[in-house]
Structure 1
Amino acid sequence: MKKAGILNRELSGAIAELGHGDGVLVCDAGLPTPRGPRVVDLAFRAGVPSFAEVLDGLLAELVVEGATAAGEIRAANPAASALLHGHFPELTLVPHERLKQLSADARLIVRTGEARPYANVLLRCGVFF
């Protein structure tokens, strides 16, 4: 049994399968998930687990070379916007509809219980060397 890090077996296994350039979408409970990418649904109740908790846990285990979010996050969810800009000073912003299109090419989607709007980010995996 793992003693640290992500304990969810499905998510831990999915992370181990990721490679350089793969996309990981971390999304709120309301974002429609496209057919195709593997989805690990962590949503339990509204707000649980939060977008911030899941993102922090993933960033502790992933090498990320880029991130994309919806530009609407700035006005609709300033807290999530600040969180993302804190982690990713060069955060790419696109229209929400474009982010949904890009999510179809993700290798993994992690659905949180987040109930605030636009708490979604598409991470691009990097390498540790």
Structure 2
Amino acid sequence: MKKAGILNRHLSGALAELGHGDQVLVCDAGMPIPDGPRVVDLAFRAGTPTFAEVLDGLLVELVVEGATAATEIRKANPATASLLAGEFPELELVPHERLKELSAGARLVVRTGEARPYANVLLRCGVFF
């Protein structure tokens, strides 16, 4: 049994399968999930686990070379917009409809219980060397 890091076996296994350039959508409870990507649904109750908690855990284990979020996050969810801007200084912002289109190319979707709007980010995996 693992004693540290992400303990959810489905999520831990899915992360181990990712490679350079693969995309991971970390999303709130309301984001439409496209057909195709593997989905690890962590949502338990509205707000649990939070987007910030899940993103923090993922960033400890993943190398991320880029991130994309919805432009609408700035007005609708300034706290999460600030969190993403702090984590990703070169955060790409696109209209929410475009983010939904791009998410169809994700290899993995991690659904949180986040109940605040536009708490979604598409991560692009990098390499550790």
Q: State TM-score, norm by structure 2.
A: 1.00
Instruction: Find the counterpart in structure 1 of residue 45 from structure 2.
Output: 45
| Structure 1 gaps, min length 5 | none
| Structure 2 gaps, min length 5 | none
Distance 1:86 1:8 in 2: 26
Instruction: Find the counterpart in structure 2 of residue 124 from structure 1.
Output: 124
| Structure 1 residue 19 displacement after superposition | 0.1
1:60 aligned counterpart, secondary structure: helix
| Structure 1 residue 60 displacement after superposition | 0.3
Instruction: Find the counterpart in structure 2 of residue 67 from structure 1.
Output: 67
Distance 1:19 1:32 in 2: 24
Distance 2:91 2:13 in 1: 27
How many percent identity over aligned positions? 84
Structure 1 vs Structure 2 CA RMSD: 0.2
Q: Which aligned segments of 4 or more residues in structure 1 are displaced greater than 2 angstroms?
A: none
- Aligned residue pairs total 129
Distance 1:61 1:87 in 2: 14
Does residue 14 of structure 2 align to residue 17 of structure 1? no
Distance 2:52 2:97 in 1: 22
Q: How does 1:91-106 map to 2 (within 5 A)?
A: 91-106=91-106
| Structure 1 residue 18 displacement after superposition | 0.1
Q: State TM-score, norm by structure 1.
A: 1.00
